[in-house]
Chain A
Amino acid sequence: MPGVIVVAVLILLGATPAAAHHGWSGYDSSKELTLTGTIREAGYEHPHGSVRLQTPDKTWVVVLAPPSRMENRGLRRDMLVPGAQATVVGYPNRTDPEELRAERITISGKTTELR
């Protein structure tokens, strides 16, 4: 009950899920995109890693997985560096047209599942 009230208050306050990093509901999974480009900036950081990916059309902020998970799956910090080519498959943020949440990322032929 108090939880319901809190959620209602948050919605009334006009809180947008756009800033959210957890969860996938803020991303439109019906619009799967495949982007290939050059990493311009990389953050191997909690709670989610991310890269700024320059594609021919525009530069995306691509949200990845927690660094501990990426490390565990073989996507090391030194692979996620500016200048590297990367292909990501993911879903655009419903409200932020610059942001994509990646389902998987391929760097130098190695694909890492991020979910």
Chain B
Amino acid sequence: MNRPASVATLVLLALIGASATYVLQRSSAPQIANEQRLLDSRQLLDVMPAALYDNQPLEQPLTLAEPVLRYSTLSGGYRATRSGQTVAVLLRSRSEGYAGTLELLIAIDANGKLLGVKTLEQRETPGLGGHIGEWPNAWLQAFIGKSRTEPTDADWALKKDQGQFDQIAGATITSRAAINAIHDALRYFDEHRALLLGTDP
């Protein structure tokens, strides 16, 4: 085989390769973006049972009034509906943990009861407070069904602080931050109920 023909074959090969990759990339970019969005929303929304709602909550963001709370800050909210009726509100809450920001996604149903809590971001000590980042999470599941008034304000604390909740072993500050953030979110829901549920005229 002579040299020019060999070089020509190589150039042709490179052209075919580059264009094939380009065409495939262009044609599948929308699908990939769509898949990514689906995956992201599934990861966020497994905080509550999928049978509960029939809309795309992440596409219905809420504007939150006065998002700075006592122990935490709400950075966003979403509304989950079923046949047009609001069934749950999701609140993104940021608070200070032991080693950095602790970001929780808190799902509250229309009656003000907690549906689930999921950790979105944490920098706690691996092996101790870091357990809060695991999913499914037995410790966070203990809060399901609780509301602002049930238990009472004094009981919304760790057993160490004369409350009724266990703490994550060896991570008092992390546990305290999480409990306060959850209680804050429930209180916020109670105070802004009509606005969050969309029943405001």
A and B are interacting partners: no
Footprint of A on B, CB under 8 Å? none
